[in-house]
Structure 1
Amino acid sequence: MPLASHDGRDSVAGRRAGEPPGVTGPAPYAALSPDLVLAAVDAAGSWSDGRLLALNSYENRVFQVGLEDGGFVVAKFYRPDRWPDAAIEEEHAFALELAAAELPVVAPLVVEGRTLLRREGYRYALYPRRGGRAPSLESPDQLEWLGRLLGRMHAVGSRDRFHARGTLDRATMIDAPMRAALGSDLLPAHLFDAYRNAAGRVDDAVARRFEAVGPLRHLRLHGDCHPGNVLWTDAGPHFVDLDDARMGPAVQDLWMLAGDDAAMDALLEGYAQFRDFDPLELALVPALRAMRQVHYAGWIAERWHDPAFPTAFPFAAEARWWEQHIADLHDIADDLMDL
């Protein structure tokens, strides 16, 4: 994952000068108290009434905050050092661009001309609260609706490119997480070589698949378009959480919503109403799925110092989980080679 520069930090737990303990280092959210969250909301001009609910999020910290006028905002505190400021601002600009194109995307609130705010060393943004339920991915009508929206989203995404957010590629989805796992105490020492061999086989197989498909058009993507990031209401769906937005092939925003070929067909039927889709990209789906599998284990390993992760993912501390993960990676590599 891209990291901000380490220039200008003091020597105490990797903090920048003037930052309180806990903003970076082993427990980056240790100083993020409820009082700080409420004060950050107040400082942005949305006066809180003390109601605070932590929402399900591991990479960042996200809170629903009640307001004195009876409404709510969602406050998102970004994980220190994951993205540089320019990358977060690109994400925000993309969300606002999509919203301006009348796409149902939850975009950050603009506060005195800014979307990226700061409070006591933390970077944060405020969002309007938007509820909803999970989409029904067994419904061809809902899948076609989502396909139309993704076609429109990609039409906007193809107008420009990201410069600070990088590209969905083997470097970010395989190499970096593989190094994180190999450098972590989570991976049992006796499985070190076995994991490196299995992940390396997946990397080789993915590289061959991308080479076989050939050059692709890359565009600005949602990047993590799984069902949990789509909320359905009586008025239809809306998309949330562009935190993993990157450059990449269009199929990345489709495959996680498609449980089978029929579902993909329904998505593409809607998609084609607003944008052409290169069918060659469908051959990338097994490779993209493999990249996500490698990334998942590396992500847990890289974040294990965060106290939320051992609680949420206790299985990752067990050798048998890594043994199964290694076996799964070999199966994935075999399947990719056979396709």
Structure 2
Amino acid sequence: MSDTPYADLDPDRILDAVESVGLHADGRVLALNSYENRVYRVGIEDAPPLVAKFYRPGRWTDAAILEEHAFAAELVAADLSVVAPLKHAGATLHAFGGHRFALFPMRGGHAPELGDREVLTHLGRVLGRMHAVGDGQRFAHRGRLGIESHGEDAVHYLLENRWLPPDLEGNFERLAEALLDAMDACAERAGDVHELRLHGDCHPGNILWRDGQAHFVDLDDCLTGPAVQDLWMLAGRREDCAKPWAWLLEGYEQFRRFDRRELHLVETLRTLRLLHHNAWMARRWHDPAFPAAFPWFEAPRHWESVITQMQEQLAALHEPPPEPA
């Protein structure tokens, strides 16, 4: 894979790609906030603008991308508000100039207010319905969320590629080993929990709230895992999460039973996100967009902060799970 995977993706190529599927662009291209992929708002003649998403080369197979698209279409067919790719020229995944891309309708909205009971109950209802659909089939080409894939692999990558300042490396390694052991213990307490197809990256930035409704976007990280993965980022930190959890589950269980044993996994999932995110940044550092956007990532102060967060997570992993009020 090229060290500069999007170097040739200039406005002319973006417009040519969009027009290759039979549309007529009006020349307007606006880059939207995205780093893993490249995403643009593209003006269309005599029609609303579209969102063009260019997939990072080498990350997903065509089969995995099409499985994402099929899952989104399945959710839409179940009358769930998910922003799914549009079909043009008989397909949702297109290729042009060495790039793969998909086109989506443009949707507006803002992040939901997570301190509001009605909002969280609504989000719980939507996720309960989404998971009822997600449990109906299985992914064949997407990943699975696990301690090894999102924890051990992340730690090994950071250590083997010497991302830690030398004076912090030993502390990081010891903490990582303790975290992995503690996460294994949490998994044992949770037991053999059921797994299903998930949104996978269900943080507030991937939910557009408009006119009292939640509209879910960006299924790029959809994968197989426990239902709680799509819930925990909406419930806040553990010190004030009892009511948010109760409100979420009040809505969720109108459509699907939630296994309370999965609450033992909340801090494990928070820890995995911390480790996986830092390894993701390191793996993408060859892309010029990353050093430009995150210049602090290589600074010792950042890694000192990571170690502090790891220490906090180690303590949290030994505490009881959240108890919905």
* TM exceeding 0.5: yes
SS in 2 for 1:73: strand
Shift of 1:334: 3.1
After superposition, the C-alpha distances for 1:204-244 in whole angstroms (9 at most, x for unaligned) are 11111111211011000000000000001115110000011
Question: For 1:263, which of 244, 247, 269 is the aligned residue?
Answer: 244
Shift of 1:76: 0.4
| 2:323 corresponding residue in structure 1 | none
Count of aligned positions: 316
Distance 2:30 2:139 in 1: 33
Question: For 1:158, which of 114, 128, 135 is the aligned residue?
Answer: 135
In structure 2, the gaps of 5 or more residues are 321-325
Structural mapping, 1:1-339, within 5 Å: 24-184=1-161, 186-234=163-211, 236-259=213-236, 260-339=241-320
Moved more, 122-131 or 319-328: 319-328
After superposition, the C-alpha distances for 1:164-223 in whole angstroms (9 at most, x for unaligned) are 112111122112222332243542233333322222221111111111211011000000
Conserved? CA contact 1:144–1:268, under 8 Å: yes
CA RMSD of aligned residues (A): 1.3
Distance 1:186 1:34 in 2: 34
Q: Given residue 291 of structure 1, which amino acid in structure 2 is its aligned partner?
A: L
Over 3 Å counting, the alpha-carbon distance change for 1:234 and 1:207 in structure 2 is: same
Over 3 Å counting, the alpha-carbon distance change for 1:312 and 1:215 in structure 2 is: same
SS in 2 for 1:256: helix
Q: Given residue 234 of structure 1, which amino acid in structure 2 is its aligned partner?
A: D
Conserved? CA contact 2:72–2:83, under 8 Å: yes
Distance 1:110 1:118 in 2: 13
Shift of 1:268: 0.6
Over 3 Å counting, the alpha-carbon distance change for 1:31 and 1:184 in structure 2 is: farther
Distance 2:156 2:14 in 1: 34
SS in 2 for 1:50: strand
Q: Given residue 261 of structure 2, which amino acid in structure 1 is its aligned partner?
A: L
Distance 1:42 1:316 in 2: 38
After superposition, the C-alpha distances for 1:10-68 in whole angstroms (9 at most, x for unaligned) are xxxxxxxxxxxxxx321111111111111111112221101111000011100000001
Distance 2:316 2:120 in 1: 27
SS in 2 for 1:225: coil
Conserved? CA contact 1:179–1:298, under 8 Å: no
After superposition, the C-alpha distances for 1:74-122 in whole angstroms (9 at most, x for unaligned) are 0001111111111111111000000011100000011233211111111
Conserved? CA contact 1:201–1:330, under 8 Å: no
Q: Given residue 261 of structure 1, which amino acid in structure 2 is its aligned partner?
A: A
Conserved? CA contact 1:162–1:220, under 8 Å: yes
Conserved? CA contact 1:186–1:316, under 8 Å: no
SS in 2 for 1:247: strand
Q: TM-score, normalised by structure 2?
A: 0.94
Distance 1:199 1:207 in 2: 12
Shift of 1:290: 0.8
Conserved? CA contact 2:54–2:100, under 8 Å: yes
Distance 2:29 2:119 in 1: 33
Over 3 Å counting, the alpha-carbon distance change for 1:183 and 1:28 in structure 2 is: farther
